[in-house]
Amino acid sequence: MSQDSSLAAGRPGRDPDGPANASGVVVSVQNVTKYFGPLKVLDGVSLEVRQGQLVAIVGRSGSGKSTLLRCMNGLEAIQGGRIVICGHDVGIGRSNRAELRRDVGMVFQSYNLFPHFTVERNITLALTLVKKNTKVEAARIAAEVLALVGLADKNSAYPEQLSGGQQQRVAIARSLALSPQVMLFDEVTSALDPELTIEVLKVMEDLAGRGMTMVLVTHEMAFARRVADQVVFMHKGKVWEAGPTAQVFAHPATAEFAQFIGTGL
């Protein structure tokens, strides 16, 4: 699907023309509208995410990108249109919420780790309570995902003993442990210092390389440009640009996007 092989070169272990890309659509957003009171924050937004893709949603603050992400996960309700994620129609009642939560993982800007639990317990909690793993099994999975994010030695530490970047990596591990089919990232590096941002981005790039379907709302333009398959530019609640990364960056269709990347936001 990607026309630019240099894009694939930025992501080792991915086969751009392989079966992964030819697979079905994982997230389908169809003409979604949403209001906060009288304010229209999403205005007929549509986008598609295919399996194994990394889609970066960019735009200025207030463009509606975080809101869109939260709608994908059912954290916010939509007033118009349809969202289907991993086969679940998000609009419909709570009954399929449990399955939705199993298939969709979310990582937040403020990490939201549980401060009264150790790192390990943060990860094993949902494993034992929701996925009904045994304690031994859960501990094994926790060790695995912690190793993946490079924090194998921190499993008995408490969140406040860790740096912001480490906490965010634990948050990613916590979500990853549940084996989601798609992971949503809501400006996960915005609260971090530059040095800590790098370590988190590295983990995310690694994750993408392993074939995880990821949707990111991010301000990290360089990262998006290098790693994302698809870029979606949002402005005032609408999608103004969407398409393969290299193409969109090389030939912005709209003045707004050109201005946006020009100012280096």
Partner 1 sequence: MTYKFDFSFLAERWPAFLEGAWLTIQLTVVSIALGFVLGTLCAVLRVYGGGVVRRLIGGYVETIRNTPLLVQIFLVYFGLASLGLKLGAELSAIIALVINVGAYTTEIMRAGIEATGKTQLEAADCLGLSRVQTILHIVLLPAMERVYPALSSQFVLLMLASSVTSQISAEELTAVANVIQSDTYRSFEVYLVVAVVYLTLSFLYRFGFWLIGRVLFVRRRRIGAAI
Supply φ then ψ for residue 12, to 5 degrees.
Answer: -65, 150
Tell me which residue has tokens 């009954």: 95
Q: Does the footprint of partner 1 cover residue 253 (CB under 8 A)?
A: no
160: contact with partner 1 by CB under 8 A: yes
Q: Please, which residue, 128 or 247, has the CB nearer to partner 1?
A: 128
Q: What is the β-pairing status of strands 88-89 and 104-107?
A: unpaired
- What is the smallest separation between the CB atom of 51 and partner 1, expressed in angstroms? 21
| Pairing between β-strand 88-89 and β-strand 80-85 as defined by DSSP bridges | antiparallel
* From 56-64, 128-136, 209-217, 228-236, span contacting partner 1 (CB under 8 A): 128-136
40 binds partner 1 (CB under 8 A): no
Q: Is residue 189 close enough to count as binding partner 1 by CB under 8 A?
A: no
- Residue type, position 217, single letter: V
SS3 70: helix
- Tokens describing residue 187: 């400006």
Q: Which of residues 129-158 bind partner 1 (CB under 8 A)?
A: 129-131, 158
Contact window for partner 1 (CB under 8 A) among 36-44, 109-117, 144-152, 246-254: 109-117
Residues 100 and 62: their CA atoms lie apart, in Å, by 27
Q: How far is CA 27 from CA 31, 47, 152, 200, in A?
A: 13, 8, 32, 24
Count of residues touching partner 1 (by CB under 8 A) = 27
Of 221, 209, 213, the residue nearest 248 (C-alpha): 221
Our finding on whether 73 is near partner 1 (CB under 8 A) is yes
Q: Applying CB under 8 A, which residues contact partner 1? A: 73, 75, 98, 101-102, 104-106, 108, 110, 112-117, 125-126, 129-131, 158, 160-161, 174-175, 178
